[in-house]
């Protein structure tokens, strides 16, 4: 049985309308109540994940901004990595490209981010990638937002660092995710599971693909791997 659990949020604990699965929450609480560490790992912000961590009842071990930020416990040091200024320069280049065409971009919670820039999927992520080719910026389309993040950062890279702070290794974890931004975490975990809605990239990185989608699939995985 794995020693710990790390999970993506959007599309893995929620459905495609971002509605949280109560069944997945119940399963996570069962882990917490049996002293199994649970890490919430998302492209979203620290404050978003902290609120969810508090209301689910995990212990504040989090990975935010697709691995740009990680923290062990609510009172641990918030480790924010990479050069966000570069991502903001890249974002301005995108604005300059799309605005003349009448295509407006919508930033997501920029004032609460330390490492990346996230914006609405109102423009084509492939076009954004081509536009930024040659710049030291990763373009990540999670299915819920487009992220510009510094090179080398990922949920998997952050998991390796956070696990060390927790006295664990990534191989000690069961990992659950649904999208391309989870692949690095799925590949480094001891066991990788994905719900039925997972993207092709996430499915390719999984050891086990659940029959059920979204949070129901993750609840299914927790019952299976943490009986
Ligand atoms: O913030 C996003 O883009 C998606 O969030 P997730 O990593 O929890 O799926
Ligand atoms: Mg997701």
Reported as a pLDDT band with limits 50, 70 and 90, residue 67 is very high
44 CB near ligand 1 (under 6 Å): yes
Protein residue with least CA distance to atom 3, ligand 1: 145
Match 């212990």 to its residue by tokens: 59
Ligand nearest to the CA of 218: 2
Nearest Cα residue to 224 out of 33, 14, 9, 27: 27
Reported as a pLDDT band with limits 50, 70 and 90, residue 186 is very high
- Report d(CA 10, CA 194) in Å as an integer: 12
62 CB near ligand 1 (under 6 Å): no
Helices (H), the chain: 22-33, 46-56, 84-98, 125-131, 155-165, 183-188, 200-204, 214-225
Protein residue with least CA distance to atom 5, ligand 1: 43
Ligand nearest to the CA of 149: 1
Does residue 8 carry a catalytic annotation? yes
181 CB near ligand 1 (under 6 Å): yes
- Give the ipTM: 0.97
Reported as a pLDDT band with limits 50, 70 and 90, residue 206 is very high
- The pLDDT, as a whole number, for residue 106 is 97
pLDDT (tens digit per residue) in 26-59: 999 999 999 999 999 999 999 999 999 999 999 9
Instruction: Cite the annotated binding site by residue number.
Output: 8, 10, 155, 178, 182
Question: pLDDT averaged over the chain?
Answer: 97
- Mutational test site, ligand 1, from 7, 9, 41, 202, max ligand atoms within 8 Å of CB: 9
């Amino acid at each position: 049985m794995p020693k710990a659990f790390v999970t993506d949020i959007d599309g893995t604990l929620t459905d495609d309308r971002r509605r949280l699965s109560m069944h997945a929450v119940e399963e996570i609480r069962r882990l917490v109540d049996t002293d199994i560490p649970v890490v919430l790992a998302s492209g979203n912000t620290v404050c978003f994940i902290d609120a969810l961590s508090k209301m689910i009842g995990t212990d504040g071990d989090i990975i935010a901004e697709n691995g740009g930020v990680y923290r062990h416990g609510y009172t641990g040091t918030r480790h924010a990595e990479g050069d966000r200024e570069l991502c903001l320069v890249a974002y301005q280049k995108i604005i300059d490209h799309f605005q003349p065409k009448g295509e407006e971009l919508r930033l997501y919670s920029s004032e609460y981010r330390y490492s990346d820039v996230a914006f609405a999927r109102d423009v084509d992520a492939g076009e954004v990638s081509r536009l930024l080719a040659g710049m030291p910026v990763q373009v990540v389309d999670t299915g819920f937002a487009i992220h510009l993040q510094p090179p080398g950062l990922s949920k998997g890279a952050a998991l390796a660092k956070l696990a060390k702070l927790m006295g664990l290794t990534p191989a000690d974890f069961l990992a659950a995710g649904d999208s391309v931004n989870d692949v690095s975490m799925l590949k480094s975990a001891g066991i990788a599971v994905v719900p039925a809605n997972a993207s092709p990239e996430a499915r390719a990185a999984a050891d086990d693909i659940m029959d059920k989608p979204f949070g129901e699939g993750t609840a299914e995985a927790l019952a299976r791997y943490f009986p």
